[in-house]
């Protein structure tokens, strides 16, 4: 495990932009005379503006009935590896428990679940502390990391997700968050358990 990559991941947790062309062709066999040439108009060159698909917006912050408010940080990258930090905050006045691993799914642009393998454990980007039960009082937080690689093997199809669905645990309500998961041809992500702070 590379300490530099993990330090970058921790920094990511703290940190929760065509021009058209003009052309003219002369098709006569002889050299054109000056009267045959149309002068280029003075002034700025006309241009067109590209309109790419808008970037999906994250959901508005809410406090669900469970008290587990979940947000996802920006993608942190290092040497072909990627990771995002999931942050769970107790937004209620009563304590809540967090136990084990988040439940996650990678979704395509239509928000359909993709065929992605989810493994639990340590990755290049984050150390897995292992499952533990945490008691979170009002305002306290727990974090976990989703990691993947964009490695591409020759002749294999690439996979890329647009969203991740994250829940506190299996069977609980999930929050859908925009995350560009360029999975390469691995189609695999690695998940760490909930913890108060990441091991170093």
Q: What are phi and psi of 40, to 5 degrees?
A: -70, 130
pLDDT higher than 90, residue 82: yes
Closest-CA residue to 84 (of 32, 13, 7): 13
Are 99 and 144 in contact by the 8 Å Cβ rule? The answer is no
Classify domain 3-15+62-191 at the CATH topology level. Immunoglobulin-like (2.60.40)
pLDDT by residue (tens digit) across 152-188? 876 677 789 999 999 999 999 999 999 999 999 989 9
User: Whole-model pTM?
Assistant: 0.72
pLDDT of residue 61: 78
pLDDT surpasses 60 at 19:
no
Integer distance in angstroms from the first to the last C-alpha of the chain?
Answer: 10
Domain ranges for the chain = 3-15+62-191
Sequence-distant (≥ 6) Cβ neighbours of residue 64 within 8 angstroms: 91, 173
Is the pLDDT confidence value at 28 over 50? Answer: no
Whether 127 has a pLDDT exceeding 60, the answer reads yes
The residues pairing with 72 across neighbouring beta strands, listed in sequence order, are: 86
Position 56 confidence tier, pLDDT thresholds 50, 70, 90: confident
What would the two tokens of residue 151 be?
């490695």
What confidence tier does 27 reach under pLDDT thresholds 50, 70, 90?
Answer: very low
34: pLDDT strictly greater than 70: no
**CB within 8 Å of 48: residues ≥ 6 apart:** 18, 19, 20
CB count in 10 Å sphere of residue 100: 17
Structure confidence by residue, pLDDT tens digits, 146-155: 999 998 876 6
Q: Is residue 46 predicted with pLDDT exceeding 50?
A: no
Pairing of β 188-191 and β 141-149: antiparallel
């Amino acid at each position: 495990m590379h300490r530099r990559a993990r330090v970058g991941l921790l920094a990511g947790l703290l940190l929760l932009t065509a021009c058209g062309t003009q052309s003219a062709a002369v098709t006569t066999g002889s050299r054109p005379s000056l009267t045959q040439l149309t002068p280029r108009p003075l002034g700025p060159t006309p241009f067109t503006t590209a309109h790419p698909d808008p970037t999906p917006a994250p959901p508005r912050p809410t406090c669900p009935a469970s008290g587990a408010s979940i947000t996802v940080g920006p993608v942190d990258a290092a040497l072909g590896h990627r990771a995002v930090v999931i942050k769970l905050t107790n937004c209620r006045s009563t304590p809540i428990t967090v136990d084990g691993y988040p439940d996650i799914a990678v979704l395509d642009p239509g928000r359909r679940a993709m065929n992605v393998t989810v493994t639990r454990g340590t990755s290049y980007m984050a150390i897995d502390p292992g499952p533990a039960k945490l008691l979170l009082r009002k305002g306290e937080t727990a974090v976990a990391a989703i990691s993947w690689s964009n490695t591409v093997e020759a002749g294999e199809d690439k996979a890329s997700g647009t969203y991740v669905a994250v829940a506190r645990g299996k069977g609980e309500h999930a929050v859908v968050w925009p995350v560009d998961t360029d999975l390469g041809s691995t189609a695999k992500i690695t998940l760490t358990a909930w913890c108060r702070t990441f091991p170093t």
